[in-house]
Structure 1
């Protein structure tokens, strides 16, 4: 085989975004992580797609970057007393198992299926925020049945997190408020705590399948850690209603942008 033909048949190198772009993206994701109790995947995954990543690699890199962000966010919410540790542990047990299933599916689902699943997921998450606007005094009543339900919710969250590249907060925060009676701040703090083992589990699974850009995840994660505390301070100053309005507006903007971009590409 000649050199020119070998070059034509060689696989394309995986995309590597510039450190500057990744740092800016990480700062934005970190602020939103602290503000909404999410891992930032709803920002990171679409942005990485725009930077040339495919859906699988964007999802895997996003879930890896969530680990340092969730640790910093957990510490911040713990200092203000807004974490239900028992609920977080129950969720984490389910997330660890579910994340392995999700990373397995990530390597096997088609790219169009992943793309449209992500969009449907965003719309559903925005709608679920308005099923219940909680009070700041609400808390989770832990019973045996509640604990089992939290484990089940964690399994579902882990599967979706592994497939879509989100930390699961966009699922857990509305679920804790609507189904388990948590306040918005407790839901956010508990969600970030739950993401720590979920991110570790999903990242190991994605590493085995080559669906992670560790360099990109490092830049994203470190930058996000710097901005997360500011997001937490902002969250405590917003009312639950305005927090829901801001979150819904964010999801709507991302959804419209992704649909337009996909239609133009076609």
Structure 2
């Protein structure tokens, strides 16, 4: 049985509360249009980990509740061994039991997911994904207000900026992978259109007026939705000077401030009770 947690937003309607990566994944599985854009994802167990690592060769094990790239494991099958990374730690072990022992010592009984690893197109040998910020505009329609690529820090398996990742333009990332200027612009248009479709899908289930989407590009040019952030951190708003796109993003955040602040409060609540 799957339990969906509801909360009341400013206009009195009941919507799904932000937080659970598993609940978000189920929303995608229910969408014929989007279900093929997400990596295979299962609730964590030793048996599931064994099945997924045998099927894909590389998986990510992550908390159902959590953010910032913390407590995320990348498990990669090698010849007779497993390479495991978590944040700045790396181990090469000979048995799956050793992998499970490390994961279980970190998760301490909390629920985790196992997600298929995607062979991402890289930048200077580092994994990259793209963050799009999608917000409701003055007319209540979804609009992509920010778009940038995130490259993993040296030796890291995840791209989160707070643990050492770095930002670059999507255009620079695409062109470093052999895209022409015209092809890069076409890919960016597809990326924005996909982001709006995702926001529309989630907009009927959550109360949010903003989403942060992490989208990966594989070596064949396919976009994969890695994660939906229902309360993305927007540290750019703390800068003294904002770009034009940042100013618009901040304006729209304030326009729907009551709903956005409620999502922030619930994000903190989920993290305290994960």
TM-score by length of 2: 0.30
Please state which structure has a larger fraction of its residues in helix. Answer: 1
Q: Which has the higher contact order (CA 8 A, sep 6+)?
A: 1
Please state which structure has a larger fraction of its residues in strand. Answer: 2
TM-score by length of 1: 0.31
